Amino acid sequence: MSATVSAGTTRGPGAADTRVDVRKTYKLYIGGKFPRSESGRSYEVVDHRGRFLANAAQGSRKDARDAVVAARAAFAGWAGSTAYNRGQVLYRVAEVMEGRRAQFVAEVRASEGLAERRAEAVVSQAIDRWVWYAGWADKLAQVLGGLNPVAGPYFDISAPEPTGVVGVLAPQGSSLLGLVSVVAPVVVSGNTVVVLTSEQRPLPAITLSEALATSDVPGGVVNLITGRTAEVAPWIASHRDVNAIDLAGAAAADGVSWGDLELAAAENLKRVVRPAGAGSDAVEPDWSRTPDLSRVTSFLETKTVWHPKGR
């Protein structure tokens, strides 16, 4: 009997089938597309035991600039959409994530070293968090705005508006739940976002980008860059067309001083959300705790309108 060989499979007499591993090299997610890094570089992603998982694109300064351009181009359309529509879009992301639950669970397990049941719980929380923020989309104006009690022949009305383009350093440890917990509150109000993913645990973020691309999220609303935090974060923090930045992932990133990033952000008066804690004791929070609206309000401006009325 002669051996039969098919694509990726070798079979010999009395031998079990073996396959050649399909090694993946993932790309960035910018402007609704999946470009290669401008630098042409990639780096190995390993699991919690140091075993190879895939190659991820190693983003550069130019990639960060491209992502900001895409986010700015998408801002007007996203901010101008109705709050109800934004809620629908975010809910659709949760639906797509639910359909890819098994993949998310496998990647969270490999990335964070969690038991299967714990990984399933984390993925469920991440999906539920998208739904939670989606539900707030058309309620923010009522809760955070309103008619101000002023004395005079006029109405005084305040309403929240999105800040603009927001940079986010995703948590380093919580590869999915932490990521969702910092991205969803930014985009729910109409902001667009440039995300620098967890450096060592980027795979759940990459899969999330695929979920975003196959849902109803307009291209450029969410942009994800994989790579070295210490290399790319300073360019996002100092970019003059970034209006605000969340430094959540700076607390546990190698070679990164969140204080230096905050100083760079001050060059154009960005809003800055610091890591939990203070100074060298800054840590990532417990992302499993029920969120509040503080991360939403951090990236909102309040517009007040005065309108005359008859006596």
Q: What is the pLDDT of residue 54?
A: 95
Distance set, CA 84 to CA 8, 12, 81, 151, 178 (Å) = 48, 60, 8, 33, 25
Q: Quote the CA–CA distance of 66 and 157 in Å, as a whole number.
A: 37
Q: Tell me the mean pLDDT in the region 277-300.
A: 83
pLDDT, one tens digit per residue, over 76-128 is 999 999 999 999 999 999 999 999 999 999 999 999 999 999 999 999 999 99
Do 235 and 66 form a contact (C-beta atoms < 8 A)? no
Instruction: Report yes or no on whether pTM surpasses 0.75.
Output: yes
Identify the pLDDT of residue 5.
41
In the predicted structure, residue 247 carries a pLDDT above the cut 70: yes
| In the predicted structure, residue 294 carries a pLDDT above the cut 60 | yes
How many other CB atoms are found less than 10 A from the CB of residue 76?
11
User: Is the pLDDT score of 12 beyond 80?
Assistant: no
Check: CB of residue 179 under 8 Å from CB of residue 198.
Answer: yes
CA separation for the pair 160, 167 (Å, rounded): 20
Q: Provide the residue ranges of all domains of the chain, joining segments of one domain with +.
A: 42-308
Q: At what angle do helices 177-187 and 203-213 cross, to 10 degrees?
A: 40
**Residue 8 pLDDT > 90:** no
Residue 24, pLDDT > 60, answer yes
What pLDDT shows up at residue 15? 52
Is there a contact between 136 and 106 (Cβ–Cβ < 8 Å)? no
> What is the percentage of the chain residues whose pLDDT exceeds 70?
92
Mean pLDDT of 134-153: 88
Predicted confidence at residue 150, as pLDDT, reads 81
- State the Cα torsion 127-132-137-141 to the nearest 10°: -160
The residues near 284 (Cβ < 8 Å, ≥ 6 apart) are 171, 172, 173, 174, 178, 248, 249, 251, 252, 275, 276
* Partners of 224 in beta bridges: 29, 195
Q: Which superfamily is assigned to 42-308 in CATH? A: Aldehyde Dehydrogenase; Chain A, domain 1 (3.40.605.10)
pLDDT of residue 282: 65
Does pLDDT of 6 surpass 50? no
- Greatest CA separation found in the chain? 101
pLDDT of residue 166: 98
* The amino acid at 138: D
Computed over every residue of the chain, the mean pLDDT equals 90
Exposed e or buried b for every residue in 114-140, given b needs 16+ CB within 10 A? beeeebbbbbebbbebbbbbbebbbeb
Averaged over 153-159, what is the pLDDT?
A: 82
The structure tokens listed for 198 are 């967890």
Interval 215-239: pLDDT, tens: 999 999 999 999 999 999 999 999 9
CA–CA gap between residue 195 and residue 115 (Å, rounded): 27
User: Is the Cβ–Cβ distance between 125 and 97 less than 8 Å?
Assistant: no
